[in-house]
Structure 1
Amino acid sequence: MPALDGVRGLAILAVMVFHFRAPELPRWAAAAPGLGWAGVDLFFVLSGFLITGILLDSRGSPRCLPVFWMRRILRIFPLYFAALALLLALSPTSWLPAEADRRYYWLYLNNWLNLLENRDVSHLLGHFWSLAVEEQFYLLWPLVVWALSPTWTLRLASAGIAGIAAARTDAVLCGIDPEFIYRNTFFRLDALLAGAACACLIRTANPARLVRLARLGIPFGLGGVALTVAAARSTHYNHPWIQILGYPLLWLGFGCFVLCCALVPGRWAWVSAKPLRGLGKYSYGLYVWHWPVACALVSIWRSWSLGGWSAAAAMQLCGFAASAVLAWTSYRVLEAPMLRLKRFFTLEAPDSQPVVRDFFSSSISAGTTSNRSPTIP
């Protein structure tokens, strides 16, 4: 769906703006770029929505789980492990995690390092934490969707969202390391579950009513984030108010945004714009490569004692350009050939899903969507 490709493009754009933002920005000008970390939350919501939708539409097949996992492997593993091996082999030792910690990256457990080893994770591979969170979700959540009906999946997701928000609040008030809260799977799972709940709702609720509620939820959620930031006088993801109030308001706003883009794409045409869809297509590679590029640029910035807006703008443009070149190259050389192998792992959705197919082939208000393919995308 073009609109959801555009949502993915928005997410990676926000993350890159956050990591490439100029250090000299005045406080008033840094507010919007300073919230760019929320692009990861948008990724989480979108991933939960898409993955749960795939699983719900194919859950009647006995081959659902192995095919799903195999397709995830083809999509995620090649670039991740190639980039990990390349960065570990070619980067300065001072930029990398300790030798003893590297096994966690090979196992997609690096986001637990704060707890397991009490290590600093702010290095060249630090951004891989979100990939670990998603991979752990992809491993376990399909079992839940396969075992439960859509209604019970929705109930479990809703209970999980409430429980995680309460547990995170308690952790913040008890003084748990905020960096651990930010990166830990358990404390960030509510965003993925919010997307999963949206996937269930889109298949079980009244479409017109769902659209009306989603349109109200966007300003409520994102407006609430703005008020929280104003009250906290901070956009930092580690601020207590952001972690207690900001995170839930973000996934609420983002979940409603994803619902609107899926249900009435005609009214959200700007999200389907070609530049955003292009960013969405290469978003995985952009995410993998942009942070090493940012680290290299920071090193150059410091060693050359650069300063001023013009130098900062030039460095930002170089960062975006270098990341785009690396992402495009890795997509053509590595990702695309692996994605072509997905044709060997297709799965017909069972005929027991007519509501889903009828729903997506109908128009809602002013927006229309084309018929969805009955195979796993």
Structure 2
Amino acid sequence: MTTAAAPTTPRTRSTALDWVRGVALVLVVLSHMWALWSIEALAGVPPLLHLLQSGNIAVTVFLVVAGFLLTRSLIGRDGTRADDEGRVGTIAAERPALAVLSRVVRISSQTWPLLLLVWFTTLAEGAGEVVETQTERSVLWVTTFGWNVYLQTEALLARADLGHLWYTAVYVQVTLVLVVLVRGLRHRRVVLALTLGGLLLACTAWRAHVADVEALTTALLRTTTRMDGMLWGALAAVCWPWLRPVRSVAGTVVSYALTLFAALVLLLGNSGAYLGWGGVAANLAVVAVVVAAPGLPPEGRLSRALGWRPLVVLGRYSLAVYVWHYPIFFGVGQRLPTWPAPAKAALALALLAAAVVLTVRYVERPVEAWVQRRLGARPADREELAALPLVPEPALSPAGAAAGPATAPSAPSRP
């Protein structure tokens, strides 16, 4: 007779991923502060200069977590969770298009209000035919998720204040690839893992090649050079049952991974090494945290650190903050060039907070609720978190049989 494991706290399960996204968001925001003040004076302090130019490494966090969550939601949840022998669940076969649609809807619920504001502001200011045409084309390519491709070839004709939205295009494009891949290999976990590993090797070699033959700004806009993070996250999700030994030494793994990531931030900054060894190291550090964090003792020091509420809250609102921060910084910097830097920063952050609260409350959540009612689907990240067995595995009975599953904690109110 087996004994069910005692219910475990959901703290590590839901907050660790939000915490790492919160850290990444802080780094992204700092990397765009140049729009409000000059950072040339920091040239003599390399670590601080790298810290304020670490946006590429920070975005790696978003991509790894996104690939991990997407793949975990596709390979099973509840009764269809993939087993350790290699069979992948049936969710990807049943409703694969829903995985893409839910993400497109969530991203659009933030980007469309921004694009409408940009468009109407351009018309109201009477900026001229050239700027209006530039805005029209930029809006079109952002809404169709081809923005990163457009920036590679028509950078001079694109709106600079929307440049950061390359991420949304790459995210949706790679989501399509992963959904098709997992659906096609849903019954063969080993083959799926080997396929993802092969793609990662090819992608890593390609990144190094592109870094040698192209300008860094162009190389960083390619889908094929930025998809490695989501592939790493997907591979971690597929290999999840085989990574239990990592979670048994979670404290050591998480400590070393966070130390490595911090070192990369302070040493690389906006360096081209991101497309080489630096990017590989950053991906591995994030994967290590994602995989090992569930093994941390719930009341341990590291668990409490990864549950620090300010960063967890930022992580839950990371999409909205990411979408709105750069256009606001850019607009304030352009329109108020004579203001002192602290005053510009204070105004920009206040406007950002207002934009996030308003769009999340009055656009994003109502749209997700409508999708849920119409399609019977939960919001993307909530479904993903519900799919994660990110609590310690059930204990084994003396006979060696697995105990009943631990009670699945509810998903956070806002991923």
Q: TM-score range by the shorter chain?
A: 0.7 to 0.9
Q: Do the aligned partners of 1:289 and 1:326 also contact (CA within 8 Å) in 2?
A: yes
Moved more, 20-29 or 279-288: 20-29
After superposition, residues 241-280 of structure 1 pair within 5 angstroms as 241-264=273-296, 266=298, 267-280=302-315
Is 2:53 the counterpart of 1:45?
Answer: no
Q: Which residue does 1:17 correspond to in 2?
A: 30
- Whole-angstrom CA distance in 2 between matches of 1:19 and 1:301: 16
- Whole-angstrom CA distance in 1 between matches of 2:195 and 2:251: 21
Q: Which residue does 2:16 correspond to in 1?
A: 3
Give the Å deviation of 1:131. 0.6
Q: Do the aligned partners of 1:124 and 1:291 also contact (CA within 8 Å) in 2?
A: yes
Q: 1:212 to 1:163 in 2, by over 3 A?
A: farther
Aligned residues: 350
Ranked by relative contact order (alpha carbons within 8 Å, sequence separation 6 or more), the top structure is: 2
Is 2:149 the counterpart of 1:133?
Answer: no
- Whole-angstrom CA distance in 1 between matches of 2:105 and 2:170: 18
Give the Å deviation of 1:270. 1.7
Q: Do the aligned partners of 1:181 and 1:187 also contact (CA within 8 Å) in 2?
A: yes
Q: 1:363 to 1:6 in 2, by over 3 A?
A: farther
Q: Which residue does 1:156 correspond to in 2?
A: 195
Identity of aligned residues (%): 20
Q: Which residue does 1:111 correspond to in 2?
A: 148
Moved more, 318-327 or 16-25: 16-25
Moved more, 79-88 or 110-119: 110-119
Q: Which residue does 2:73 correspond to in 1?
A: 54
Q: 1:146 to 1:283 in 2, by over 3 A?
A: same
Q: 1:327 aligns with which of 344, 356, 371?
A: 356
Moved more, 262-271 or 214-223: 214-223
Q: Which residue does 1:317 correspond to in 2?
A: 346
Give the Å deviation of 1:95. 9.6
Give the Å deviation of 1:118. 5.8
Q: Do the aligned partners of 1:9 and 1:280 also contact (CA within 8 Å) in 2?
A: yes
After superposition, residues 153-302 of structure 1 pair within 5 angstroms as 153-173=192-212, 175-202=213-240, 204-210=241-247, 212=249, 215-216=252-253, 219=256, 223=260, 226=263, 230=267, 235-236=269-270, 239-264=271-296, 266=298, 267-302=302-337
Give the Å deviation of 1:357. 7.7
Q: Which runs of 5+ in 2 are unaligned?
A: 1-13, 78-88, 379-386, 396-405
Q: 1:252 to 1:277 in 2, by over 3 A?
A: same
- Whole-angstrom CA distance in 2 between matches of 1:221 and 1:164: 24
- Whole-angstrom CA distance in 2 between matches of 1:229 and 1:13: 14
- Deviation string for 1:93-125 (max 9, x for gaps)? 559846445432221101012444464656011
- Deviation string for 1:57-111 (max 9, x for gaps)? 1541443313323322332222222322221221465598464454322211010
- The TM-score, its normalising length taken from structure 2, stands at 0.74
Q: 1:54 to 1:373 in 2, by over 3 A?
A: farther
- Whole-angstrom CA distance in 2 between matches of 1:243 and 1:79: 29
- Deviation string for 1:327-353 (max 9, x for gaps)? 011001101112223544248xxxxxx
Q: Do the aligned partners of 2:250 and 2:293 also contact (CA within 8 Å) in 1?
A: no
- Whole-angstrom CA distance in 2 between matches of 1:96 and 1:235: 34
- Whole-angstrom CA distance in 1 between matches of 2:132 and 2:248: 47
Q: 1:30 to 1:190 in 2, by over 3 A?
A: same
- Whole-angstrom CA distance in 1 between matches of 2:19 and 2:73: 19
- Deviation string for 1:117-156 (max 9, x for gaps)? 4646560111110010001112221111122133222222
Q: 2:106 aligns with which of 75, 89, 109?
A: 75
Q: Which residue does 1:26 correspond to in 2?
A: 42
Bigger Rg over Cα: 2
Q: Which residue does 1:85 correspond to in 2?
A: 116
Q: 1:44 to 1:120 in 2, by over 3 A?
A: farther
Q: Which residue does 2:398 correspond to in 1?
A: none
Moved more, 35-44 or 83-92: 83-92
Q: Do the aligned partners of 2:324 and 2:352 also contact (CA within 8 Å) in 1?
A: yes
Give the Å deviation of 1:176. 1.2
Q: Do the aligned partners of 1:88 and 1:96 also contact (CA within 8 Å) in 2?
A: no
Q: 2:94 aligns with which of 53, 58, 63?
A: 63
Q: 1:258 to 1:227 in 2, by over 3 A?
A: closer
